[in-house]
Amino acid sequence: MSTHSNSKIEWPLWEIFVRSKQGLDHKHVGSLHAADAAMAIENARDVYTRRMEGISIWAVESKNIHASNPDEAGSLYDPANDKAYRHPTFYDLPNEVEYM
Amino acid sequence: MQNQQDVLFQNKVDKEIRIEPKDWMPEKYRQTLIRQISQHAHSEIIGMLPEGNWITRAPSLRRKAILLAKVQDEAGHGLYLYSAAETLGISRDEMYHQLHTGKAKYSSIFNYPTLSWADMGVIGWLVDGAAIMNQVPLCRSSYGPYARAMVRVCKEESFHQRQGFDILYTLGKGSEAQRKMAQDAINRWWWPSIMMFGPKDDESPNSIQSMKWKIKRFSNDELRQKFIDVCAEQVKVLGFTLPDKDLKWNETRKHYDFGEINWDEFWQVIQGNGPCNKERLEARKKAWTDGEWVRDAATAYAAKNKAA
Ligand SMILES: [Fe+2]
Ligand SMILES: [Fe+2]
């Protein structure tokens, strides 16, 4: 958006991912600004884990995230819809079969 | 074409499908959200000032630790919200610029002074209480990043309200002087608190569109009434009174009736003529200017490390 004459370069934006406990995936929690990766992790600790929400933090500079285009969601994900045979419920098993 | 996109968009909203940053959205929706979210973020940041005023003078180490944690949470809320606003294409610096030049508004409640320790109790109970009433429905706002930020905010707010109530409850059991101090604080903050819900519905023209887009879920007057009903009961538990002689349970409406709000005062404070508007903005600008060398140094250090 518009910038004004007296503005300097902003600290880059980082996306923050937090692992809430051992055994779970890191999950996106939000973003923040920091001069470098070390500061991003320190700030993320203060901003996103003040109440033991996490035990591990990933910080990724936002410009390095590549996203799929929502306008292509139709063509990208639709073909999965007509492949019901990918799901176990597609198959009728004889009643005698247990534990499958 | 534009029209068809508008219809598709409204359909999505009606079906409670959340809008995400890269999805198509009407320009007016984007602008409304940028204004609302950044204004909200500014309120969290400016909101640290009236309470920050009492951190060094908290009556005990326990109260001091609690107030520090509360104010730190408000900083966090500001940061969640700024980053939600940035997903709509406005930069952080631009938002700061709008705040510092007075172009952007923040909640008018923070332009009132905090004169006694009891104000910390009343701010938690009433100001955070009103904020919660406003914010809980925003957890279901149609814009994904805003709704997610609000979920995090709301989880933290209930501690804010309770610590405030706890301060007042303790003062209520205290000496005559303490009881007087608490009642005085309630008297000063009550009316500004119920103004926090914004102008009356018939004087709030943007509300209708915001409700249609599900940015807002309840009208200003609905939320205000709900808040008054809750507080009118809680104040009895505290053993104090609310400064409104017209406050009375209405059996047919099943709500409390209340007195006329001084809207002239509300508009005066919004237009910059409240007791502390100037002081708050000066403090904020000073923090930004005084921190400039730190930001510069960190940028230089990061650049140097990158080059090495
Ligand atoms: Fe807050
Ligand atoms: Fe709060």
Per residue in B70-127, pLDDT (tens digit) is 999 999 999 999 999 999 999 999 999 999 999 999 999 999 999 999 999 999 999 9
Distance B127 CA to ligand 2 centre (A): 8
Give the pLDDT of residue B204.
82
A67 contact residues in B (CB cutoff 8 A)? 22
pLDDT tens string, chain A, 100 residues long: the values are 444 545 578 999 999 999 999 999 999 999 999 999 999 999 999 999 999 899 999 999 999 999 988 888 777 777 667 788 888 888 999 999 988 8
Most confident among A67-76, B3-12, B177-186 (mean pLDDT): B177-186
* CATH number assigned to the domain comprising residue A80: 3.10.20.520
**Beta carbons of B189 and B113 less than 8 angstroms apart:** no
Distance B51 CA to ligand 1 centre (A): 12
B20, B72, B86 member nearest A70 (Cβ)? B20
Residue A46 belongs to some domain of the structure? yes
- Say which ligand is closest to the CA of B157: 2
B22, B24, B298 member nearest A67 (Cβ)? B22
| Chain B: residue whose CA lies nearest to A73 | B23
A7, A30, A50 member nearest B83 (Cβ)? A30
Is B151 a residue whose pLDDT tops 50? yes
- Which residue range(s) make up the domain with A75? 13-90
Residue A49 belongs to some domain of the structure? yes
- Nearest chain A Cα distance for residue B157, angstroms: 13
How far is the C-alpha of B73 from the C-alpha of B252, rounded, in Å?
A: 41
The percent of chain B in helix, strand and coil, each rounded to the nearest 5, is 70, 5, 25
Residue A4 belongs to some domain of the structure? no
Using the 8-state DSSP alphabet, how is residue A23 labeled? T
**Beta carbons of B140 and B96 less than 8 angstroms apart:** no
Residue A28 belongs to some domain of the structure? yes
Give the pLDDT of residue A82.
78
- Nearest chain A Cα distance for residue B94, angstroms: 6
How far is the C-alpha of B145 from the C-alpha of B151, rounded, in Å?
A: 10
Distance B71 CA to ligand 2 centre (A): 8
Q: Which two tokens stand for residue A47?
A: 């901003």
Residue A66 belongs to some domain of the structure? yes
Interface test with A, best of B45, B86, B103, B148 (most A CBs within 10 A): B86
Query: Exposed, middle or buried, B221 (CB in 10 Å: 0-12/13-18/19+)?
Result: middle
- Nearest chain B Cα distance for residue A97, angstroms: 41
Total Cβ atoms within 10 A of residue B48: 22
Q: Which of A89-98, B183-192, B238-247 has the lowest mean pLDDT?
A: A89-98
pTM for the predicted model, two decimal places: 0.92
Residue A97 belongs to some domain of the structure? no
The string over B91-119, giving b where at least 16 C-beta atoms fall within 10 Å of a residue's C-beta and e elsewhere, is: bbbbbbbbbeeeebbbbbbbbbebebbbb
Give the pLDDT of residue B185.
98
Give the pLDDT of residue B66.
97
A69 touches chain B (CB under 8 A): yes
Residue A99 belongs to some domain of the structure? no
pLDDT tens column, B164-173: 999 999 999 9
Give the pLDDT of residue A73.
78
Residue A76 belongs to some domain of the structure? yes
Query: What total number of domains does chain A contain?
Result: 1
